[in-house]
Amino acid sequence: MRVVRLVRAWTHRHPDLAELALGVTVAASLLVVSLSQWGLTDVGLSRGVTLGLPFAVATVWASRRRRLRDEGRDRAMLEQRLQLARELHDAVAGQVAVVGIQAAAARRVLATRPDEASQALERIEIASRAAVDDLRRMLVTLREGPAAPTGAAPGLAQLDDLLSELRRAGLTVTTTRNGMSSSGLPQALDQAGYRIVQEALTNALKHGGAGTASLDLARSDDRLEIRVTNPVGTHVTAATLPDERHRGLGVTGILERASLFGGHAEAGPTRDGQWLVSVELPLAGGGRA
C-alpha cells in the first residue's frame, strides 16, 4: 500500500511524466506481445511498433483529456466557492457588523436616551432583514445552481441606499462622483463595484478612528475607479496592521474581485494616518465575478 501511495503522489505532482510513462508502458507491452507471437523477427518488430505506437498515443491523449476535464471542473467549483464566499462575507458579514455596532449603541443609551435606543433598534431590524434577504439568495444558488432565480443582486444604482444605511449606522460619508453612471456597465462589474464599496465603507465603520470616510468614484471610457479613505483607528498600531500574509477576508475579497476583471487594487495605511482602498476596474470584458 505504501508503494501505491507513493506512486499516486508522484503521479499527482508530475502528471505529464505520468502520462508519458503510461504511453511507454502501453507501447512496450504491445511490443512484447507481438514478439512473443511472431518472435524476434522483422515481422514481430514491425507489427509491435505498428500496434504499440497508435495505442500508446491514444492512451496518452485519453488520459490527458480526462485530466484536463477534471482540472477544469475543479477550477470551476473553486471559483464558484470563492464567489459565494465573497458574497457571503461582503453582504451578510457587513450587515451583521452593523447589527453589532447598533446593538452596542442601543445598550449604552437605553436607560438615558430611549429615543436614540429605539432608532438603533430600528437600524438593527433593517440590517437584519437585508442580511436575511442576501443569505436566502445565496442559499437558493447553492441548492439549485447558478441558473436559479435569485433576485436582482445590488449594483451601483443602489449606492445611495447603501450610503444612507451606513450614515444611519453612524458613518459620515462624503462622496465625489466624476462621470459616474451605472448605465451601460456589465452586470458582473456593476455588482463587483457595489460590493467593493460596501466592504470598504463597512470596514471604515467597524475599524475607522473617527466615524468618517470619503468615497471617490470616477468613470472614464475605459475604466471605473474607486477610492475609499478613512482615518485609521487609534486601537490600530503598526504591529496590528494586516500584511500580505494576514489580510482580512474583506480585503482579500476586494483584491480577488479586481483580479477577476483584470484590474488593480490596493488596500493599506498611508503616511498621513489614513486607510486607503484604491481599485481600478477596466470596463472591457465584463469579468467572471
β-bridge pairing 223-231 and 212-219: antiparallel
Q: What is the pLDDT of residue 41?
A: 66
Q: Are 191 and 153 in contact (CB under 8 A)?
A: yes
Q: Which residues of 223-249 are buried (b: 16+ CB within 10 A; e: fewer)?
A: bbbbbbbbbbbeebeeeeeeeeeeeee
For 168-183, the pLDDT digits (tens) are 777 889 999 887 776 7
What 3-state DSSP class applies to 234?
A: coil
Q: What is the pLDDT of residue 117?
A: 83
What domains, with CATH codes, occur in the chain?
2-73 (no CATH), 154-289 (3.30.565.10)
Transcribe 151-219 into DSSP letters: -PPP-GGGHHHHHHHHHHTT-EEEEEEES---TT--HHHHHHHHHHHHHHHHHHHHHBSSSEEEEEEEE
> pTM, whole model, 2 decimals?
0.60
Q: Which residues contact 82 (CB under 8 A, 6 or more apart)?
A: 256
Closest CA to 156 of 202, 128, 206, 197: 197
For 16, the grid coordinates are 505529464
Extract the residue ranges of the chain whose pLDDT is less than 70: 1-4, 6-12, 14, 17, 20, 22-23, 27, 30-31, 35, 37-39, 41-45, 47-49, 51-52, 55, 60, 90-91, 141-142, 144-153, 182, 209-210, 233-248, 285-289
Q: Amino acid letter at 79?
A: E
- Ramachandran sector of residue 2 (left: φ over 0; alpha: ψ -120 to 50; beta: rest): alpha
Q: What is the pLDDT of residue 31?
A: 65
For 1-39, the pLDDT digits (tens) are 666 576 566 566 767 767 767 667 776 776 677 767 666
Q: What is the pLDDT of residue 55?
A: 66
Q: What is the pLDDT of residue 288?
A: 47
Q: What is the pLDDT of residue 263?
A: 92
